[in-house]
Amino acid sequence: MTKKKSRLPTETDNSFGSNPFTILDSNDLSSLPLKTDLNHPKSKLEFPKSESLGKGERLEVRREKSGRGGKTVTTVCGFPKHISNGDLKRILKEFKSRLGTGGGWRNEQMEIQGDRRREVVEWLSTLGFKPVLAGG
């Protein structure tokens, strides 16, 4: 003797313009914002203005690819000697965390992964430096 399985009805109203979501219950869903401005993402990074490490020193910001297997990096060179290594490491760490990218120090220059020249210039200006786009 076989048991007869109870099945869910699969026939739906296939008329043009019917909305399949009308039977869904939205009582337990969290409220979402009605308007989101997706066309204007946050373009500016916010950096602390309390520090003035730069004192107007000139830094060169470049985009380089040579010797890196085709990968693009943004390099910053020309940091003054009066800034301690601890401050330089802290600056790089804060910048990498805010941009969500990698980077490091090589041959006394800061390297940030990707073409981030605009953000780097903006950020260094808030720290009191005078960044200059160098190269082509």
Q: Which residues of the chain form beta strands (DSSP E)?
A: 58-64, 73-77, 103-106, 109-113, 130-133
Q: Which domains does the chain have, with CATH numbers?
A: 58-133 (3.30.780.10)
- Specify the pTM: 0.60
Per residue in 53-91, pLDDT tens? 777 889 999 999 888 888 999 999 999 888 888 888 988
Per residue in 15-48, pLDDT tens? 666 777 777 777 766 665 655 555 544 444 454 5
Q: Which candidate, 112, 117, 132, 115, places its Cα nearest to that of 57? A: 132
Distance, in Å, from the CA atom of 45 to the CA atom of 101, rounded to the nearest integer, reads: 14
Mean pLDDT in residue range 101-128: 91
> Token pair of 97, please?
């965390």
